[in-house]
Amino acid sequence: MAMDFKNFLFNNPQKTLTAIIILFWVAICSLLYALWTRYSTHNIDMAQSQSLVINNYLLTINPENHTALDKATAIILQSEDTTIEEIFFTIYSESGEILYSNASYNRNKNILSYNNLDEKIVGSQASISSSTSRYDEILQKDCVITSTYSSALDRYIISECPINNDISLIGFIKKFPKKLTMIMILIIVVNLCMLILSRHMSNIAKLRRYIMQLSQEDDIVANDSTQLTLENSVKGIANDLTMLYRTRIEILKRNDLEREKAIIDEKNRLYSKRTLANNLNHEIKTPIGIIIGYLDTLLNHPDIDKETQTNFLKKCLINTQRLQNMVVNIAMISRIEDGNSNIALEDININKIACLAKEDLKFTLEEYNMNFQIEVEEDIFVKGNEMLLYNTICNLVKNSCFYSGGTDIIFKKKTQDDKFYIFSLSDNGKGVPEESIAKLFNRFYRIDKDKNKKSGTGLGLPIVKESISLCGGCISAANKENGGLEFTFSLPIAKK
């Protein structure tokens, strides 16, 4: 309910403002009416107070001294603050005998009669007064009728005092000058606030209509805020809304593109995994089949000569190593693909990584009579991951050992620019056929057709490419003019 009321106020600013103005003027009129009522009854209250004083005073004068009574009455009527026009009174003895009266017989009988004394007055043992007000049909005025008894003088007095009901606007203003001044100031301030508020409410209504246009239009060129006849502040808000709307549209479009790209990437990743699984299934069958075949032959033909048995066992060992390397490489690829967003990059001394790889591959290099030369300065730092770069150099070196047929491997820095170092790792072997250059980084691709000869899995170079890519660089391969294969790759320069 509270939210509906807020929505109504926001959606109907003009109606809301009109309702506020009406409520304000109802409150002002009620306040003025209350003050006027208080002002109009003031004379009656004053007359009752004054008539009590008059009665007590007249009782102190000897009823037989008519001149003194008339003179006292005249003096009272001449007072500036009196609200009484005339004084009609009758003085009675305790027994009810009229001692003096300045009223006519009819008035004395009908209004100032001893019988009209209040029961509390008659028979009282103390001084007591009673006062009431009524409208006199003869005088056509409101009158105050007051009865007073004095136990000390044993006299009663009944008086009727017509009230001066001359209620005028000037008298009203004189009666409540401060309150009326505050009310006038309040009216002026509120009216100014209403004027300012009405202008802003009108602008809010226009601004809301413009927002509705923005929310309903895909293309807001036609609704440019410069066409709105608003104040500068509101026009600025409209311009900001237009900019926010356009930014929102651009963000939504960009999010759509990113979402589509993410969907495509996920599909490619799933396709790559399915392809990897299918290729792995195909590739793993060959060494397993070879191993099973040789072992089955050895078990079923125990009379095979020693040399043939040894040859068969060596081939089983080669294919077992191939399976082992395949499992290791598949695990590496899975870690790279599943955790590529969590790869930590840090400043790496590439010379130390190369020296560590050379030390760890010492026996492999000796087995294939290869010399690994490192021609990279010791102070070269790149941005990358230590494990990935170590595996990259090891894979490239082992690839040269297994397949190049050369004698030397050289790792060096070729050049650099503002962002990247360019490195190369090359050998002086036989190189590869030109048609195979573009396929070297494909998974499970091997140039050697005799799969029993080497223990390669066809996954080493794809892992190298993925590792270099995750470090922010790229890699390519080419045959050298003087023989051998050269891998060229870039790595980001570490910020100092």
Task: Return the CATH number at 462.
Answer: 3.30.565.10
Phi-psi region at 151: left, alpha or beta (left = phi > 0; alpha = psi -120 to 50): alpha
- Residue at 181 is within a domain: no
- Residue at 183 is within a domain: no
- Residue at 424 is within a domain: yes
* Closest to 337 measured CA to CA, from 476, 467, 475: 467
The tokens of 473 are what? Answer: 């660089």
CATH of the domain at 77: 3.30.450
Q: Of 153, 174, 195, which residue constitutes the final position of a domain?
A: 174
- Residue at 299 is within a domain: no
The tokens of 364 are what? Answer: 């492999």
Q: Of 174, 201, 229, which residue constitutes the final position of a domain?
A: 174
H, E, C per residue of 136-191: ECCCCEEEEEEEEEECCCCEEEEEEEEECCCCCHHHHHHHCHHHHHHHHHHHHHHH
- Residue at 251 is within a domain: no
The range of the structural domain enclosing residue 477 comes to 343-496
- Residue at 318 is within a domain: no
What φ, ψ does residue 422 adopt, rounded to 5°?
-110, 120
Pairing status of strand 408-416 against strand 371-375: parallel
How sure is the predictor about 223, in pLDDT bands with cuts at 50, 70 and 90?
Answer: very low
- Average pLDDT over the chain, rounded to whole? 76
Q: Say how far apart CA 132 and CA 111 lie, in whole Å.
A: 12
- 22: buried, middle or exposed (CB in 10 Å: 19+, 13-18, 0-12)? exposed
Q: Of 174, 196, 220, which residue constitutes the final position of a domain?
A: 174
Which pLDDT score, from 0 to 100, does residue 325 have? 63
- Residue at 381 is within a domain: yes
The tokens of 351 are what? Answer: 């010379």
Give the amino acid at 88: F
Sheet harboring 475-479: ordered strands across?
371-375, 408-416, 420-427, 485-492, 475-479
Give the amino acid at 323: L
* pLDDT tens, position by position, 269-327: 676 666 555 555 655 666 777 778 778 787 887 888 888 878 878 878 877 766 766 66
* pLDDT tens, position by position, 53-87: 888 888 888 888 888 888 888 888 887 677 788 88
Please name the residues in contact with 459: beta carbons below 8 A apart, sequence gap of 6 or more.
Answer: 325, 326, 329, 330, 332, 333, 443, 444
- Residue at 296 is within a domain: no
Q: What is the number of structural domains in the chain?
A: 2
* pLDDT tens, position by position, 257-276: 888 888 887 776 676 666 55
What φ, ψ does residue 83 adopt, rounded to 5°?
-105, 10
- Contact between 242 and 251 under an 8 Å Cβ cutoff? The reply is no
